[in-house]
Amino acid sequence: MKKSFLLILLLLGLSIQGFNKKSFNPISNLVVKIELLSNKFSISKEAIHHAMNAYEKLKLSGQILNQRYLTIADFSKPSSEKRLFIIDMNKMELVLQTLVAHGRNSGTLFAKAFSNKNESYQSSLGFYITGDIYRGKHGMSLQLSGIESGINDNAKQRAIVMHGANYVNDQLIKQQGYIGRSLGCPAVPQNEVKEIIHTIKGASLLYIYAPSNNYSKKSKLINDPALIG
């Protein structure tokens, strides 16, 4: 009887050890977070997968200083939907979800065409690091640095920034079915721009996503698992 009891205890101990190891497996935890965020907030699972992986790499490389927030502009959704998501990475909660514009030459309701070229007036996909606040022709604005070579690294030259815009509102959606479009900037509602900018300023990660095979093939950041930075 004692031998049987000891055997049960031994097996139970091994099971608990195995469970604990699995619980603290970073890969398993990442998968769980991806599923949680995608299901909880109705964000594209591919967008979450790309963003979470890049977030971990860039955090390790020291490029993300404001590590608390991850922002995803999910352009798989129409502009009539609230498709900008700011996620609190400490609490795994949604801080804010709102409208965001794409470039006028990227499409009307959906963003389908993308460019890194000057005066293309199209959005550029990929990962950006947020910079400093400044006041420009659109009022309070946030600098963005595109960190993907050949994909969005002309962002500063093109003056791609986050700013508020009067054409990003629910009234336009009621009138024409979609919000206004920018010259390529991820423009947000004027009445929310201050909160958004103050939340994600100071080197946090922004990911502008759309289901694009061209981007998926070109992006080293999402294709190279060993890449950091």
- Domain locations along the chain: 25-223
Please report the pLDDT score of residue 92 as a whole number: 87
Please report the pLDDT score of residue 28 as a whole number: 52
Query: How far is Cα 32 from Cα 38, in angstroms, rounded to an integer?
Result: 10
Alpha helix ranges (H) inside the chain: 2-23, 26-41, 45-60, 170-176, 193-200, 213-218, 220-223
Please report the pLDDT score of residue 29 as a whole number: 64
Please report the pLDDT score of residue 229 as a whole number: 39
Query: How far is Cα 135 from Cα 139, in angstroms, rounded to an integer?
Result: 5
Please report the pLDDT score of residue 30 as a whole number: 59
Question: pLDDT below 50 — which residues of the chain?
Answer: 1-27, 228-229
Please report the pLDDT score of residue 39 as a whole number: 74
Please report the pLDDT score of residue 223 as a whole number: 85
Comparing CA positions, the residue from 130, 118, 195 lying closest to residue 162 is 130
Q: What is the pTM of this model?
A: 0.84
Strand partners, 127: 207
Helix (H, G, I), strand (E, B) or coil at 32: helix
Please report the pLDDT score of residue 164 as a whole number: 98
Q: Edge-to-edge strands of the sheet including 93-98?
A: 93-98, 84-88, 69-74, 205-209, 126-136, 139-146, 161-165, 188-189
Query: How far is Cα 147 from Cα 204, in angstroms, rounded to an integer?
Result: 12
Comparing CA positions, the residue from 140, 191, 190, 192 lying closest to residue 161 is 140
User: According to CATH, what is the number of the domain 25-223?
Assistant: 2.40.440.10
